[in-house]
């Protein structure tokens, strides 16, 4: 085969692959949008679901529960996640123990979320008597997301040039001052990206919340209230009611919020990086 025709074939395959990918993406989002958009209204967003077989009402309580759950999850997640990453990158020596920890973190990141759900059910819901609640759901999500949080923070911290650490230490800064005032600020964009990744995964998470958050359609009043997130609500609508169109409308809300979150973080991270490196945003 001539170089020319093999190049042609390669280009066709590459373009074809790209085309199929875009087609699938546009197809899914387009389908959900077409089915769901007509139902979207302020009323849909602001009324609580009525429950029952009809699937009537809106999604107001699911929105509130989602935000509530995300806030608690992130609040609990960040400190231990970043802390463990700092320990693993800056303090831990490279020995069998840290290698076991690293391996454990990697393994945990690949465990299916329903397994975390069962753990959360056994520990938080049952043993600790938190019942089906925001608290149980958030703590389970923390367990699920901790490996991701640690891994992304580790990468962000490792990406900070060694020369920054060396100059800080050479100026008579202590190791902790160096981490606190040089390493962590420089790692912030990467850590924030990790947090967003976790928020994204938490928003889409259904299985492990099914067994820890319950499914109450009521407005949560405290940490110990049960509830349903948007994805959980979508699941209930699709599986247990006749309101498939409302499930699609909920899907639209989910997709749009993910897009908004990702775009905002990208813009923020880029602006932060630009400020740090002296370029104008």
Partner 1 sequence: MKSTASPKFKARGVNLYYGSFQALRYISLDIPRNAITALIGPSGCGKSSFLRTFNRMNDLIAGARTEGRIELDGSCIYDEGVDVVNLRKRVGMVFQKPNPFPMSVFENVAFGPRRHGKNNHSEMEAIVEKSIREAALWDEVSDKLEQSALALSGGQQQRLCIARVLAVEPEVILMDEPCSALDPIATLKIEELMRKLSRDYTIVIVTHNMQQAARASDMAAFIMMEEDKAGSLVEYGPTSEIFTKPRDKRTEDYITGRFG
- Residue ranges in contact with partner 1 by CB under 8 A: 161, 163-164, 166-174, 177, 181-182, 185-186, 275-279
User: Which CB atom, from 181 or from 270, has the smaller least distance to partner 1?
Assistant: 181
Q: In angstroms, rounded to a whole number, what is the distance separating the alpha carbons of residues 237 and 22?
A: 28
User: Shortest Cβ distance from residue 99 to partner 1 (Å)?
Assistant: 16
User: Shortest Cβ distance from residue 257 to partner 1 (Å)?
Assistant: 32
User: Which CB atom, from 5 or from 163, has the smaller least distance to partner 1?
Assistant: 163
Nearest residue to 64 via CA among 278, 233, 262, 177: 233
User: Which CB atom, from 110 or from 172, has the smaller least distance to partner 1?
Assistant: 172
Which residues on neighbouring strands pair with residue 57, listed in sequence order? 49
Angle between helix axes 113-120 and 134-158 (nearest 10 degrees) is 130
User: Shortest Cβ distance from residue 75 to partner 1 (Å)?
Assistant: 28
Residues with Cβ within 8 Å of residue 280, at least 6 apart in sequence: 274
User: Which CB atom, from 4 or from 280, has the smaller least distance to partner 1?
Assistant: 280
User: Shortest Cβ distance from residue 149 to partner 1 (Å)?
Assistant: 23
Which ranges of the chain would DSSP assign to H, the alpha helix? 3-36, 42-46, 60-86, 96-109, 113-120, 134-158, 162-170, 175-178, 184-204, 207-210, 230-240, 244-277
User: Which CB atom, from 168 or from 203, has the smaller least distance to partner 1?
Assistant: 168
User: Which CB atom, from 80 or from 161, has the smaller least distance to partner 1?
Assistant: 161
What 3-state class would DSSP assign to 57?
A: strand
User: Which CB atom, from 119 or from 272, has the smaller least distance to partner 1?
Assistant: 272
User: Which CB atom, from 27 or from 161, has the smaller least distance to partner 1?
Assistant: 161
User: Shortest Cβ distance from residue 89 to partner 1 (Å)?
Assistant: 14
Question: DSSP secondary-structure letter at 189?
Answer: H
What 3-state class would DSSP assign to 49?
A: strand
User: Shortest Cβ distance from residue 91 to partner 1 (Å)?
Assistant: 13
User: Shortest Cβ distance from residue 157 to partner 1 (Å)?
Assistant: 14
Structural contact between residues 73 and 145, judged by C-beta atoms closer than 8 angstroms: yes
Residues with Cβ within 8 Å of residue 96, at least 6 apart in sequence: none
Structural contact between residues 113 and 203, judged by C-beta atoms closer than 8 angstroms: no
Q: In angstroms, rounded to a whole number, what is the distance separating the alpha carbons of residues 266 and 218?
A: 34
User: Shortest Cβ distance from residue 189 to partner 1 (Å)?
Assistant: 11
Nearest residue to 138 via CA among 193, 196, 205: 205
What 3-state class would DSSP assign to 181?
A: helix
């Amino acid at each position: 085969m001539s170089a020319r025709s093999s190049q042609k074939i390669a280009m066709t395959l590459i373009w074809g692959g790209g085309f199929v990918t875009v087609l699938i993406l546009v197809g899914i989002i387009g389908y959900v949008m077409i089915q769901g958009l007509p139902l979207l209204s302020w009323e849909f967003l602001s009324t609580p679901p009525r429950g029952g077989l009809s699937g009537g009402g809106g999604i107001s309580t699911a929105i509130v529960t989602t935000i509530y759950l995300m806030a608690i999850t992130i609040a609990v997640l960040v400190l231990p996640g970043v802390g463990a990453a700092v320990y693993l990158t800056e303090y831990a020596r490279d020995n069998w123990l840290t290698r076991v920890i690293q391996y454990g973190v990697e393994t945990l990141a690949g465990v299916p979320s329903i397994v975390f759900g069962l753990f959360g059910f056994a520990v938080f819901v049952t043993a600790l008597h938190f019942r089906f609640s925001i608290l149980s759901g958030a703590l389970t999500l923390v367990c699920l997301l901790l490996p991701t949080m640690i891994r992304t923070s580790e990468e962000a911290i490792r990406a900070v040039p060694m020369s920054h650490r060396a100059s800080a230490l050479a100026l008579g800064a202590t190791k902790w001052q160096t981490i606190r005032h040089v390493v962590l600020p420089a790692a912030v964009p990467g850590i924030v990206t990790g947090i967003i990744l976790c928020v994204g995964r938490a928003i889409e998470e259904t299985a492990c919340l099914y067994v820890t958050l319950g499914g109450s359609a009521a407005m949560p009043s405290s940490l110990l209230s049960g509830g349903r997130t948007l994805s959980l609500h979508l699941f209930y609508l699709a599986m247990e009611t006749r309101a498939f169109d409302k499930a699609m409308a909920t899907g639209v809300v989910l997709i749009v919020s993910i897009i908004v979150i990702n775009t905002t973080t990208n813009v923020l991270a880029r602006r932060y990086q630009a400020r740090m490196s002296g370029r104008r945003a």
